[in-house]
Amino acid sequence: MISIARKTLLHDWRRFLPAAVAVAFSGVLMTVQGALLLGIVSANALYVTQSSADYWVGFPGTQSVELGRTVPADTAAELYAEAGVSHTEPLLIGSGDWRAAQGGGVSVTIIGIESAADAKGLDRVIPRALRNLLSAPGAIAIDAADAGKLSVKLGDRAEINGRAVELIGFIDGLRGLGGVNVVASLQTARTLDTALPADGGATYFLYNVKRAGEGESIARRLNNRGSPPRYEVWRAGMLADMSTLYMLLDSGAGIAFVFATLIAMLIGAVITSQTLMAAVAGTIPQYATLRALGVPFPRLRKIVVEQAAWVGLAGLVASLVISLTIALLAAIYRVPFDLRISVIAGASGVVLLVAMVACMLAIHRLRDADPASLLR
Amino acid sequence: MRPVLQATHIEKSFNVQNIRTRALIDVTVDICRAEFTLMIGPSGCGKSTLLAILSGMSSPDQGAVHVGSFNLSELTDEQRDLFRLKYCGFIFQGFNLFPALTALEQVQVPLDYMNIPEDEARERALLALDHVGLSKRKHLRPAEMSGGEKQRVAIARAIVKRPVILFADEPTSALDSENGRNVIEILRATAKETGTAVLCVSHDMRLLSKADRVLQMEDGRLLRDERPNAVSQSTERDVP
């Protein structure tokens, strides 16, 4: 069977190029926008994603990690009582008012972490040596990118809530969304923010399990203990996703994304359909001749559908290649770019939808292929 | 003379800007096998309308078209498609070839839609191209061919199906005299050699001497029906 669709695409590729470019453009626009947005809002989940703990225990009903409230001290005892739990530690999240030697006040978030060498809290960004240094009273660390905002250099002294602190190290990878994160030991955090529990309670308890397979059943058991529940257990990934989603919806950034997606879809659909329609219109006499020779209408429709599918596929591949290249550049230049499979799948789905809509409009044009119109 | 197509009392009208125009008025005609029939007449006399109705591409307001046991007016659109696919070939003034396909592929396409196996389709396409004298040009695309060659490819595409009736609408008007003569010779030879009924609509008076039969139309009516020469008979293929 001679494929008129494919032969025409190859022979007349210049004619179909704009459609493939439009599809690729929609795909790239959606993917990049989505990945950038996720990269930015996923900063809201940094406390979770920069820690290697498997499970987080916090106040029941917490929607986002920074909104955690105190869970009582005996939670720790319940975690220790679970034979499958290998490691547990508290994590504190408080707030304070920063005052440097020069400059005004800045509101900061205080993260109190366990200073033991095997601690899991923020262990992806706080190396063992730095953690050790933090155990000194009043010692703090901040993300290097926030130094300017706090007007502070390494070794400088400042005050948080009127208590002296000393910057003993910089962190790479804990830059918040607008706010500033100050990391300290549990003891230092408690002295800086007196609202934090001093009785052994914590904002979160982090734990790991001995065998990965048991994780879910332990979490389920803990979650079903006590009514009303005094705490809730989340997988780390789940709490991170909740926090990202919360910021996405809360900040209104999600709406911007939806809007950009609609624009990308519209532009893609308009250009692709125009191109396909022009291609069909240019081939109407040939199609009409096939109709005269008795080729049924659905067989002609198949030609257009096949062309649209190839155009969509070509655009999709181009979009993937470009998006991956941008992701690579973003990684090199340290731009927050979170290219997830879900973003790629979503954008690909929309792109194929665009090609389908364009195809349907082009098929409509095929109705002009009336064989009687060839007779004059 | 055995008619392969019989049209009786055909009427067709059009509304153009709220004015009703009678394009065909009580036309009764039959088309015979192995004959090269030429239909002539001035512009707007209804030749093309009659061709569209005889080939089942449009329906008459009144009257019937019988081909073998089929009454075209009673068939559905799908059945008429199937009828044309099996029994009709068409040649138009514009050659209407696909720019992307080679001469061989252009000719093979209709056979693909008739579900003829690839090898056989290719062989038949080569034979058809040979019949129009283009077997050496089979690899060329339309952009690389002259007008006459393109029309010969279009003829090969029409005859490769071995149609019972071959309709040609102004097949020579876009060609110079030599190419026009060639095309007519091929159509005439097709009628004689394969028994196909060839109905050719044309303005071209040079064709008059080549036709087995001449139908003259004017103002929607069939004025004259003449057979200048004797016609041989053939019994190769018939519509059941």
pLDDT tens-digit profile of B169-187? Answer: 999 988 898 999 999 999 9
d(CA A320, CA A314): 10
Across chain A, what does the average pLDDT equal?
Answer: 89
pLDDT tens-digit profile of B59-95? Answer: 999 999 999 888 998 899 899 999 999 999 999 989 9
Sign of CA dihedral B208, B188, B48, B92: negative
Is A170 in a helix, a strand, or coil?
strand
pLDDT tens-digit profile of B49-61? Answer: 999 999 999 899 9
Closest residue in B to A371 (Cα) is B57
Q: Is the ipTM of this complex over 0.85?
A: yes
Q: At residue A225, what are phi and psi to the nearest 5 degrees? A: -90, 125
* pLDDT above 80 for B230: no
Q: What is the predicted pLDDT for the residue at B233?
A: 47
d(CA B97, CA B141): 9
pLDDT tens-digit profile of A227-269? Answer: 788 899 999 999 999 998 888 888 777 788 788 888 888 888 8
Q: Which residues pair with A202 in a beta bridge?
A: A71
For residues B9 and B28, the answer to whether their CB atoms sit within 8 Å is yes
A-chain residues near B141 (CB < 8 A) = 11
The two tokens of residue A375 are 């007779």
Contact call for B169 and A2, based on CB within 8 A: no
* pLDDT mean over B195-216: 91
Rama region for A178: left / alpha / beta (φ>0; ψ in -120 to 50; rest)? left
* pLDDT mean over A358-365: 88
Q: Is B86 on the interface with A (CB under 8 A)?
A: yes
* pLDDT above 50 for B231: no
Q: What is the predicted pLDDT for the residue at B25?
A: 95
d(CA A260, CA A34): 9
For residues A92 and A114, the answer to whether their CB atoms sit within 8 Å is no
Is A196 in a helix, a strand, or coil?
coil
* pLDDT above 50 for B113: yes
The pLDDT-based confidence of A358 (bands split at 50, 70, 90) is: confident
For residues B228 and B211, the answer to whether their CB atoms sit within 8 Å is yes
pLDDT tens-digit profile of B140-160? Answer: 999 999 999 999 999 999 999
For residues B11 and B60, the answer to whether their CB atoms sit within 8 Å is yes
Contact call for A294 and B92, based on CB within 8 A: no
Mean pLDDT lowest among A264-278, B127-141, B204-218:
A264-278
Please compute, for residue A61, the number of CA atoms within 13 A of its CA located in the half-sphere on the CB side: 3
d(CA B13, CA A166): 98
Angle at B91 between CA B90 and CA B97, to 5 degrees: 105
Q: What is the predicted pLDDT for the residue at B91?
A: 94
Q: Which residues pair with B40 in a beta bridge?
A: B216
Q: At residue B101, what are phi and psi to the nearest 5 degrees? A: -100, 145
Contact call for A290 and B86, based on CB within 8 A: no
Contact call for A376 and B97, based on CB within 8 A: no
Q: What is the predicted pLDDT for the residue at B237?
A: 59
Compute the CA torsion angle A315, A317, A318, A322 (nearest 10 deg).
Answer: 130
Mean pLDDT lowest among A148-157, A204-213, A367-376, B189-198:
A367-376
Closest residue in B to A374 (Cα) is B92
Q: Which of A371, A360, A362, A358 is nearest to A296 (CA)?
A: A371
* Number of alpha helices (DSSP H) and beta strands (DSSP E) in chain B: 6, 10
Q: Among B58, B78, B90, which would you mutate to test the A interface (most chain A Cβ atoms within 10 Å of its Cβ)?
A: B90
For residues A344 and A337, the answer to whether their CB atoms sit within 8 Å is no
Q: Which residues pair with A92 in a beta bridge?
A: A112
The two tokens of residue B102 are 């080679």
Q: What is the predicted pLDDT for the residue at B234?
A: 44
The pLDDT-based confidence of A376 (bands split at 50, 70, 90) is: low
A-chain residues near B81 (CB < 8 A) = 291, 294-297
Q: What is the predicted pLDDT for the residue at A34?
A: 86
* Number of alpha helices (DSSP H) and beta strands (DSSP E) in chain A: 12, 9
For residues B197 and B4, the answer to whether their CB atoms sit within 8 Å is yes
pLDDT tens-digit profile of A42-90? Answer: 888 999 999 999 999 999 999 999 899 999 988 888 888 888 888 899 9
The two tokens of residue A58 are 């916090």
Q: Among B51, B92, B120, which would you mutate to test the A interface (most chain A Cβ atoms within 10 Å of its Cβ)?
A: B92
Distances (CA, A) of A374 to A271, B92, B168: 29, 7, 11
Q: What is the predicted pLDDT for the residue at A150?
A: 87
Q: Which amino acid is at B161?
A: K
* pLDDT mean over B31-41: 94
State the count of interchain CB pairs (< 8 A) between A and B.
96
pLDDT tens-digit profile of A126-159? Answer: 999 999 999 999 999 999 888 888 888 898 899 9
Among A283, A294, A297, beta carbon nearest to B84 = A294
* pLDDT mean over B119-129: 96
Q: What is the pTM of this model?
A: 0.77
Report which secondary-structure segment, H or E, holds B12: strand B3-16
